[in-house]
Amino acid sequence: MRIALAQINTTVGDLDGNVKKIIENIERARDTDADIVTFPELAICGYPPEDLLLKSGFLRDNYSALESVIQNSQNICVVVGFADAIKKDVFNAAAVIDDGHLVGIYHKAELPNYGVFDEKRYFLQGTECASLFGMNGVLFTVNICEDVWIQGSKAEQCSIDNRVDIVLNISASPFHAGKLNERRDILSSFARRTGAFVCYNNLIGGQDELVFDGGSLVFSPQGELIASGKRFEEDFLVVDINKNSKSLSEKNGGLKPIFLKPRDSHYQKPIIMSKAPELGRLDEVYKALVLGTRDYMAKNRFSKAVIGLSGGIDSSLTAVIAADALGSENVIGVTMPSQYTSNETRSDAEILAKNLNIRFLSIPIKPIFSAYTEALQEPFKEGNPGIEMENLQARIRGNILMALSNRFGWLVLTTGNKSETAVGYCTLYGDMAGGFAVIKDVPKVLVYELAEYVNQRGIIPESVVLRPPTAELRQNQKDEDSLPPYSILDPILQAYVEGDRSPDAIIAYGFNPKIVRDVVRMVDRSEYKRRQAPPGVKITPKAFGRDRRLPITNRYFPNNRLK
């Protein structure tokens, strides 16, 4: 049996566009003599459609879109995800289409409702195992994403009880660094436990905060990887599974399968089952950042991006990613020097722009800053100087970038990393102003590693990498005046933000107690800033945003109360 896994990049809500892509891939599957072609989870409507699923019109239109796919599925079996609305009940569903007829619908039984997932907000749990199909004496089952992640799930039991030969899983599994290994372990183990081939088709593409990395996988019943799709790009993976199955009638097992039209299995064109090359740790993160940025821009119909270049490492890395995502002709770098900007950082920004071959603008902010200082002189006769004039500089820069954005239709990419987003070392409406926060989920130490990684191409000036981090908002300012060194800050943040460890637990790892408590307090107090931040690419197991939902109004300080 020949199975094609069409690993496509869908767009949420773009029913026409998704259907067009699905039909093209059905044609390609036919040309490849495939018996079956699968598409990712909710491929018809895109994933995750969020509250679009509460609109009955959307659900209807999604069903019409499925109809178009059915009408274009002659002489092949198609497995495609859609939202199945039965009166008020909505299911995350897989349609099984055979030769132009809808022959079965499977409803996802395991609905993730943690981390970035809210599936129980939208979907009812599927309770029937209506997913058993027979073709040419081979028995296969269809299920969806989480169904294979939960040991002892209905999908697993169904596969075992009915001794199925092949499991077709359609997925939308979002990326974080290292996730592929988890997936491989889960699927290999599922294949062994069920004694079936597993064909796992994963979505690719960016959607707001999420990047789906593709990397579809096929495992043998022995748990060995047979084939794998490319990551961070569309792919069309074809496998031949020659199952010396007993005839279906000899099998025991309770459910009666739906029998599909027998196929002629003499394939015209032999295929070679491919395995995509392995990606290194920095490779995969970098590709996720590029794809996330490219898709956010394209799917929201922006072609050009503008970035404030400070001469620092964060904005430099962001610019390199943007140029790789959009082409250097579509990136504009802007330096906005103040009285505190050193000649070195200014010239580094310019060198970077030259190396990247991007357009470069210089707009000094000193006269604007003076105008504000003048206007605020009277009210500022009271009170004591704080950070207001530092923030003001960042906000002037934000305004300038937004003015360029409004005039020319360029999207502003912000440049803040995860470490500063965590502790609030950033200015709301200042450096946080923009449409997409490329490296929002990249801790500072990883920013350095990625800078080194891209510098195999020699783009970022060495002085940018070597200079101690500074916001340059006052004379001789250094990040370390306000924050612990990033080599200490980052692991504390990882334990607190991603690990939800208590301060005491983190102190027990050997960190300085005062530093730990200060960092935790800074993180907690910055929730209001993050709530107003633009989205950015999730690359860690827990990103800020839909992944981590803390109240702004929150008087809990860990471990404080009983001391």
> Does 273 help bind its own copies (rule: CB under 8 A)?
no
> Does 428 help bind its own copies (rule: CB under 8 A)?
yes
Q: For residues 172-201, which are near its own copies according to CB under 8 A?
A: none
The token pair that represents 170 in the structure block: 């359609």
CA 461 – CA 541 distance, rounded (Å): 31
**73-112 mask for its own copies (x: CB under 8 A)?**
----------------------------------------
Complex with its own copies: residue 134 or 434, whichever CB lies closer:
434
Name which of 111, 137, 178, 31 is nearest 498 in CA terms: 178
Interface residue with its own copies among 86, 273, 508, 550 (CB under 8 A) is 550
Q: For residues 198-237, which are near its own copies according to CB under 8 A?
A: 206-208
- DSSP for 515-543 reads HHHHHHHHHHHTHHHHHTSPP----SSS-
Complex with its own copies: residue 300 or 487, whichever CB lies closer:
300
- Exactly one of 45, 129, 145, 426 is catalytic; which is it? 145
Strands (E), 53-203: 77-86, 89-98, 101-107, 132-135, 138-144, 166-171, 197-202
> Does 364 help bind its own copies (rule: CB under 8 A)?
yes
Interface residue with its own copies among 44, 52, 69, 523 (CB under 8 A) is 52
Complex with its own copies: residue 2 or 299, whichever CB lies closer:
299
Complex with its own copies: residue 338 or 455, whichever CB lies closer:
338
Complex with its own copies: residue 398 or 469, whichever CB lies closer:
398
Residue 368 CB, nearest approach to its own copies (Å): 4
Instruction: State whether residue 275 is helix, strand or coil.
Output: coil
Name which of 51, 4, 59 is nearest 26 in CA terms: 4
> Does 302 help bind its own copies (rule: CB under 8 A)?
no
Contacts of 306 (CB under 8 A, 6+ apart): 331, 332, 333, 334, 401, 404, 405, 408, 410, 411, 412, 413
Q: For residues 431-490, which are near its own copies according to CB under 8 A?
A: 433, 435
Name which of 129, 127, 126, 124 is nearest 142 in CA terms: 129
Element (H, E) at 211: strand 210-213
Concerning whether 388 is annotated as a catalytic residue, the answer is no
> Does 344 help bind its own copies (rule: CB under 8 A)?
no
- Which ranges constitute the DSSP H helices of 208-342? 281-299, 313-326
CA 326 – CA 334 distance, rounded (Å): 17
Name which of 32, 29, 61 is nearest 44 in CA terms: 61
Q: For residues 520-549, which are near its own copies according to CB under 8 A?
A: 528, 531-535, 548-549
Concerning whether 145 is annotated as a catalytic residue, the answer is yes
**118-137 mask for its own copies (x: CB under 8 A)?**
x-xx----------------
Interface residue with its own copies among 242, 244, 268, 374 (CB under 8 A) is 374
**Sign of CA pseudo-dihedral 220, 223, 225, 229:** positive
- Exactly one of 21, 77, 108, 390 is catalytic; which is it? 108
Strand partners, 140: 133, 166
Complex with its own copies: residue 149 or 453, whichever CB lies closer:
149
Residues in contact with its own copies, counted by CB under 8 A, come to a total of 98
The token pair that represents 196 in the structure block: 């079936």
**135-154 mask for its own copies (x: CB under 8 A)?**
--------------------
Q: For residues 389-408, which are near its own copies according to CB under 8 A?
A: 389, 391-392, 395-396, 398-400, 402-404, 406-408
* Cβ neighbours, 10 Å, residue 221: 17
Name which of 193, 244, 246, 190 is nearest 218 in CA terms: 190
Concerning whether 41 is annotated as a catalytic residue, the answer is yes
Name which of 187, 142, 179, 150 is nearest 39 in CA terms: 142
- Only one of the segments 22-30, 60-68, 128-136, 160-168 lies at the binding site for its own copies (rule: CB under 8 A); that segment is 60-68
- Only one of the segments 21-29, 113-121, 192-200, 255-263 lies at the binding site for its own copies (rule: CB under 8 A); that segment is 113-121
Instruction: State whether residue 144 is helix, strand or coil.
Output: strand
- Only one of the segments 7-15, 77-85, 441-449, 451-459 lies at the binding site for its own copies (rule: CB under 8 A); that segment is 7-15
Looking up tokens 């039991």 gives 157
Complex with its own copies: residue 269 or 561, whichever CB lies closer:
561
Complex with its own copies: residue 392 or 492, whichever CB lies closer:
392
Query: Could you give the residue numbers annotated as active site?
Result: 41, 108, 145
